[in-house]
Chain A
Amino acid sequence: QKEVEQNSGPLSVPEGAIASLNCTYSDRGSQSFFWYRQYSGKSPELIMFIYSNGDKEDGRFTAQLNKASQYVSLLIRDSQPSDSATYLCAVHNQGGKLIFGQGTELSVKP
């Protein structure tokens, strides 16, 4: 079992809809969680990070964290075709490195 699990997708949503991306992690001691967006052949781009239980909103993006359930999610409101990419959930390891999930491919259809 991977330390960080995501549904690989592809997740397909129509333009303007809400896209919901989910992630679970195995290390109960993890403290910080990151969402990266990666276009094919490009580098991961940091979208959001969250440390505390609950919701954190930034523009069209909302990250949700539930440490008791070891669950992190990312909601994208008013999805646009330009949001089509692979979304990587990453968990910060005590040593400093990021442990990534396998990524969820999102496709937003016009």
Chain B
Amino acid sequence: AAGVIQSPRHLIKEKRETATLKCYPIPRHDTVYWYQQGPGQDPQFLISFYEKMQSDKGSIPDRFSAQQFSDYHSELNMSSLELGDSALYFCASSLGGGGSYNEQFFGPGTRLTVL
């Protein structure tokens, strides 16, 4: 079965640079979530989109922005990168918005390293 696709899988940037992470949800899934996982930490929710509208927002820095496009893929844009932004970034998708009974399936992640 098709899974969530994320690109790139690895990204190395310098401080103050920008980065764009892409997420392609499972076909027919209309909801996308972004999570950040630092070393030894649990995943922390950043932001989510349902039917191309922002549906929830978590601890996402103002330097980050995201959107969901008409084909339901999503992009996370990160500017003025800091060393502390180095982490695994996961995208997850589900069907039917953020309802309580909607299972979220995670992509393989993008490992961002900021030097």
Q: How far is A63 from B58 in the complex, measured between Cα atoms in Å? A: 28
In the assembled complex, which residues on chain B have CB atoms less than 8 Å from the CB atom of A97? 33, 45, 48, 56, 58, 98
In the assembled complex, which residues on chain A have CB atoms less than 8 Å from the CB atom of B44? 100
Knowing A96-B98, A97-B48, A97-B98, the reply to whether A44 touches B55 (Cβ < 8 A) is no
Number of interchain pairs (Cβ within 8 Å): 67
Assess the A99–B108 pair: CB atoms within 8 A: no
Q: How far is A100 from B41 in the complex, measured between Cα atoms in Å? A: 10
Q: How far is A46 from B102 in the complex, measured between Cα atoms in Å? A: 12
Q: How far is A36 from B42 in the complex, measured between Cα atoms in Å? A: 11
Knowing A51-B101, A97-B33, A97-B98, the reply to whether A43 touches B56 (Cβ < 8 A) is no
Nearest chain A CB to B32 CB, angstrom units: 11
Contact of A43 among B97, B100, B106 (CB under 8 A): B106
B interface, how many residues as a size bin? 20 to 34
Contact of A44 among B90, B97, B100, B101 (CB under 8 A): B90
Interface check A65, CB cutoff 8 A? no
Can you name 5 extra interface pairs (CB under 8 A) apart from A46-B105, A98-B104, A102-B42? A34-B103, A42-B109, A97-B98, A98-B43, A100-B43
Enumerate chain B interface residues (CB-CB to A < 8 A).
31, 33, 35, 41-45, 48, 50, 55-56, 58, 88, 90, 92, 97-109, 111
Enumerate chain A interface residues (CB-CB to B < 8 A).
31-32, 34, 36, 41-46, 49, 51, 88, 92-103
